[in-house]
């Protein structure tokens, strides 16, 4: 990872990290720690699998422009984009790119630190109590109870790049990234 400003603090990741090309952010998020603080205490897991979704990507919710749901993707980077899927699940993304350009990274799996069952996008939302109420909250500060911290670095040789899961549009794009050999990668 590059020496961004946030490295000075070795802690919470700031907006300049997210305000970049979506593919780069997706790859650099591997090894970062997702943190959730509620009345039940703190829950943490290391991000080990991500997928990128961009404005010119047929699989992206923002592909056909701004809608009530996709509006979040056009806002500033470093926000949570949480949506409801298949009638009973939530998925958690972080917004990327400068304001006005849609983009997001889907967090697909965590290596649990003090939580369980996080090897899938809907499972990790359930484990960390992430619901639609957290849509659009700012991930660059702790006040909403959801943020991401620097934690661990992976070299390119430890990162697998492959196709995304569970989509039909643009299924051939190699926009999924995961940590080689990690036991908590989502099942195909």
Partner DNA sequence: GATAAGATGTTA
Partner DNA sequence: AACATCTTATCA
* Burial (0-12, 13-18, 19+ Cβ within 10 Å), 109: buried
Q: Which residues from 56-75 bind DNA, rule CB under 7 A? A: 59-61, 64, 67-70, 73
Residues 117, 128: Cα–Cα separation, whole Å: 10
Q: Which residues from 166-185 bind DNA, rule CB under 7 A? A: 166-169
Q: Which is nearer to DNA, 143 or 168 (CB)?
A: 168
Residues 69, 66: Cα–Cα separation, whole Å: 8
Rg of the chain's alpha carbons, rounded to an integer? 15
- The tokens of 97 are what? 């790119």
Residue 123: enclosing H or E segment and its boundaries?
helix 121-128
Q: Which stretch binds DNA (CB under 7 A): 10-18, 36-44, 147-155, 162-170?
A: 162-170
Q: Which is nearer to DNA, 43 or 70 (CB)?
A: 70
Q: Which residues from 98-117 bind DNA, rule CB under 7 A? A: 104, 106, 117
- Across the chain, how many H-helices and E-strands are there? 3, 8
Q: Which is nearer to DNA, 13 or 104 (CB)?
A: 104
Q: How many residues does the chain have?
A: 188
- Which member of 17, 18, 53, 147 binds DNA (CB under 7 A)? 53
Q: Does 120 bind DNA (CB under 7 A)?
A: yes
Q: Which is nearer to DNA, 12 or 122 (CB)?
A: 122
- Buried/exposed 10-41: b ≥16 CB within 10 Å, e otherwise: eebbbbebbbbebbebbbbbbbbbbbbeeeee
> Shortest approach of DNA to residue 163 CB, angstroms?
12
- Which member of 22, 96, 140, 186 binds DNA (CB under 7 A)? 186
In the complex, the residues that contact DNA under the rule CB under 7 A are 51, 53, 59-61, 64, 67-70, 73, 81, 83-89, 91, 93, 104, 106, 117, 120-124, 164-169, 186-187
């Amino acid at each position: 990872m590059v020496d961004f400003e946030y490295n000075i603090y070795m802690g919470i990741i700031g907006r300049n990290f997210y305000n970049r090309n979506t593919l780069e952010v997706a790859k650099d998020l591997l090894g970062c720690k997702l943190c959730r603080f509620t009345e039940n205490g703190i829950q943490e897991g290391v991000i080990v699998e991500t997928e990128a979704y961009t404005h010119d990507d047929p699989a992206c919710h923002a592909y056909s422009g701004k809608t009530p749901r996709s509006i979040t993707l056009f806002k500033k980077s470093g926000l949570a984009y949480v949506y409801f899927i298949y009638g009973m699940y939530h998925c958690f993304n972080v917004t990327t790119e400068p304001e006005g350009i849609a983009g997001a990274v889907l967090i697909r799996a965590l290596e649990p630190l003090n939580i369980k069952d996080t090897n899938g996008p809907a499972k990790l939302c359930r484990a960390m109590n992430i619901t639609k109420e957290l849509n659009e909250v700012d991930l660059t500060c702790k006040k909403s109870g959801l943020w991401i911290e620097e934690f661990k670095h992976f070299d390119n040789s430890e990162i697998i790049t492959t196709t995304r899961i569970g989509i039909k549009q643009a299924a051939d794009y190699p926009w999924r990234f995961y940590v080689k050999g990690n036991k908590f990668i989502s099942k195909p």
